[in-house]
Amino acid sequence: MAGQAAQNSGPSKNMLWGGRFTGGLDPLMVAYNESIYYDRALYSQDIRGSIAWARANHNKGILSADEFSAIEQGLKQVLEEWRDDRFEIKPGVDEDIHTANERRLGEIIGTGIAGKLHTGRSRNEQVATDMRLWLRDELRKIEGFLTDLLRVIASRAETEIEHVMPGYTHLQRAQPILWSHWMLSYGLFFANDLQRLREVIVRVNRSPLGCGALAGNPFGIDRDAMAEELGFDGLIYNSMAGVADRDFVVETMQWGSQLMLHLSRWAEDLIIYSSGEFSFVKLADAYSTGSSLMPQKKNPDSLELIRGKSGRAFGQMAGLMMTIKGIPSTYNKDLQESVEPMLDHVKTVGDSIQIATGVLSTLTIQPKNMLAALTPDMLATDLADYLVRKGVPFRETHHISGQVVALAEKTGTPMDKLSFEQLQGVDKRFEKDIVDTFDYQRSVEMRSAKGGTSKSCVLEQIEVLKKSLAS
């Protein structure tokens, strides 16, 4: 008897799966296996899922009304302990959030009734349910964050519509554009991200509860009723897929990586535009830091962190895909590795959007510096377009415009300061009205086809962006 007692005293005795095992676990294995210190973030979802499960078992006659009431009230007490930061995790006993909640429930209402909660349920379906509930709730918050960012973009584009700045290709000054047009270029990227996010939420919000370990539930439990109680839009209809699927996490990370890619590029532009060499924008102190050595420095750390954290997001996505790619069906412990990166990825993405919104809401623009950065050679295409309107083939006008640029460089004269005689020396088809071409605002307004940088086009893009916010 003494030997048996010694065998049953190991940490496996109190685990949800402990009945099969008579020996204790290596303490390192206990720590290696447990996930409670990060999956405790799912405490609320785990309790909501357990209440729905208990209700469904009560409806099937597996739990009496009194037993269900005790379980429900006990779980609500556990929930309050988590919310009030009074829940005490027992190291080596509370393997994960599911074990911890059931252990505490047993302490509150007695292990006899608490032990009936898990009837017909597997941790495989339980963890998948918790993850989907948590992720759905968090992605809806992120949807709100992203909507806020898009509203700021639309608002600033509308109020700062008139300011002209250089547009770039290859990081070389290319053509004049409106500052508002630049903001909306990223706004439309983010609007596409919003649309994709809403599609992801639909696929996340499907219930695996009732799938069992892999083969389904033996008590005819009402999966639809549980799904409705938990706010799911539908079911995962194959029990094996229900417990094996982590595509919803991978897809979320793919989405998050795409968004972070866009945020990173947006941040990079603003880092450049805020530098002394450009000085198009100035970041608020709230989103900048100084140097420990150089008093004059004002560093765009907020934007650099967004750019840096995009790599973190990409890595989490790639890491999880490599974890999943080789495992057989259905549930394998490898899938535990989907929880921690999911939690961090969602926090990183959500925080980054909120920081981006703060940066854009508070930065100031310096239109005079934007205008001063424009140079007449950026109107070379307008020069070619002028001749096109005179009936000259574009390939010929492109060459002629290039000759004008070369002449300006050779003589050290800005292109708009070349004399009419010099221009006619390049091509006789230039007329006196060529002088009207050297106008940055006019250049912008000439780009009036849908999607262009004219004010009318920008206003149209703002309306398109606003419409995309409607869910």
Q: Are 435 and 157 in contact (CB under 8 A)?
A: no
Residue 372 in 3-state DSSP? helix
Given this model, what pLDDT does residue 289 score?
82
In this structure, the number of other CB atoms found within 10 A of the CB of residue 268 comes to 15
**Structure-token match 């900048």, residue found:** 288
* Cross-strand pairs, 169: 172
Q: Catalytic annotation on 291?
A: yes
Residue 114 is predicted with a pLDDT of: 97
Give the single-character DSSP code of 280: S
| pTM of the shown model | 0.91
Q: Report pLDDT digits (tens) over 79-135.
A: 999 999 999 999 989 999 999 999 999 999 999 999 999 999 999 999 999 999 999
**Alpha-carbon span 76 to 30, nearest angstrom:** 28
Type of residue numbered 272:
I
Is-contact 334 324, C-beta < 8 A?
yes
Contact call for residues 255 and 249 (beta carbons, < 8 A): no
In this predicted structure, the answer to whether residue 318 has a pLDDT above a threshold of 90 is: yes
Average pLDDT, integer, range 340-367: 98
Cα–Cα separations (whole angstroms), residue 455 to 206, 373, 458: 44, 20, 5
pLDDT at 44: 98
Mean pLDDT of 316-337: 96
pLDDT attached to residue 197? 98
CATH numbers and ranges of domains, the chain: 34-114 (1.10.275.10), 123-372 (1.20.200.10), 376-454 (1.10.40.30)
Q: What is the pLDDT of residue 196?
A: 98
Q: pLDDT by residue (tens digit) across 382-412?
A: 999 999 999 999 999 999 999 999 999 999 9
Quick: pLDDT tens for 174-191: 999 999 999 999 999 999
Question: Which residue spans within 211-305 are E strands per DSSP?
Answer: 234-235, 281-282
Amino acid symbol at 281: V
Residue for token pair 């909640």: 101
- Mean pLDDT for 294-310 is 89
pLDDT of 19 higher than 70: no
Q: What DSSP character marks residue 328?
A: P
pLDDT for 16: 55
Kindly tell me if the per-residue pLDDT of 4 is higher than 50: no
Rounded average pLDDT over 424-444: 95
**Angle at the Cα of 385 from the Cα atoms of 379 and 391, rounded to 5 degrees:** 155
- From the candidates 275, 291, 329, 448, give the one annotated as an active-site residue: 291
When mean pLDDT is compared across 28-32, 232-236, 416-420, the lowest value belongs to 28-32
